Amino acid sequence: MKIENAVLNDVPELCGLLTILFTQEEEFRPDFQKQAAGLNKIILTPEAGCILKASADGKIIGMVNLLFTISTYTGGRVAILEDMVVLPEYRGGGTGAKMLQAAKDKAAQEGCTRITLLTDGSNTGAQKFYKKHSFEKSDMVAMRYDAEAH
């Protein structure tokens, strides 16, 4: 298995992974055009973030998205981790753990001192996975404003 930065030619396969992820999440619905647009923007704007892909057997088997921002609390750069997904047939073999470590390493390379992520409240498997890899539950409550809905 190889983990590296995604490139524009990877976007269709990455959209397939996002379809799997968004079908599992309660709040999101897959939209190929929107997901492709977002992936393209991240890949073309490396100062904003990166998409890491895991490849094996001639295909992309997993991905994780890091977005970079500034925190007034830490006084420096931090990362938001999103879109962590592994093809179902490759789960349980260490791909997720290796991708998460690669994301931690990339965030550190970028000068980030903290990584924040969200999971569905009902996704206890994901929560257990992240806790196993040194993420701690926060008492902060996620809230969202959707300009398209208002």
pLDDT at 138: 92
Alpha carbon distance 46, 48 (integer Å): 5
pLDDT, average across residues 14-37: 88
Alpha helices in 25-68 (DSSP H): 32-44
Judge whether residue 28 has pLDDT over 80: no
Percent of the chain with pLDDT over 90: 83
Q: Three-state SS for 32?
A: helix
Q: What is the pTM of this model?
A: 0.92
Judge whether residue 1 has pLDDT over 80: yes
Identify residue 59 by its one-letter amino acid code: K
Identify residue 88 by its one-letter amino acid code: P
For residue range 44-99, list pLDDT tens digits in order: 999 999 999 999 999 999 999 999 999 999 999 999 999 999 999 999 999 999 99
Query: N- to C-terminal Cα distance for the chain?
Result: 44
Q: Look at the block and give the residue holding tokens 């073999």.
A: 93
* 83 against 29, higher pLDDT: 83
Q: Under 8 Å CB-to-CB from 146, ≥6 apart: which residues?
A: none
Q: Do the Cβ atoms of 92 and 128 come closer than 8 Å?
A: no
Q: Under 8 Å CB-to-CB from 53, ≥6 apart: which residues?
A: 3, 4, 5, 6, 10, 14, 60, 62, 63
- Determine whether 35 is exposed, middle or buried from the number of CB atoms within 10 Å of its CB (0-12, 13-18, 19+): buried
Identify residue 75 by its one-letter amino acid code: G
Stretch among 72-86, 93-107, 130-144 having the lowest mean pLDDT = 130-144
- Integer angstrom CA distances of residue 143 from 31, 40, 127, 140: 22, 26, 19, 9
Q: Do the Cβ atoms of 2 and 54 come closer than 8 Å?
A: yes
Domains of the chain in start order, with CATH, are 2-134 (3.40.630.30)
Cα-to-chain-centroid distance, residue 57 = 22
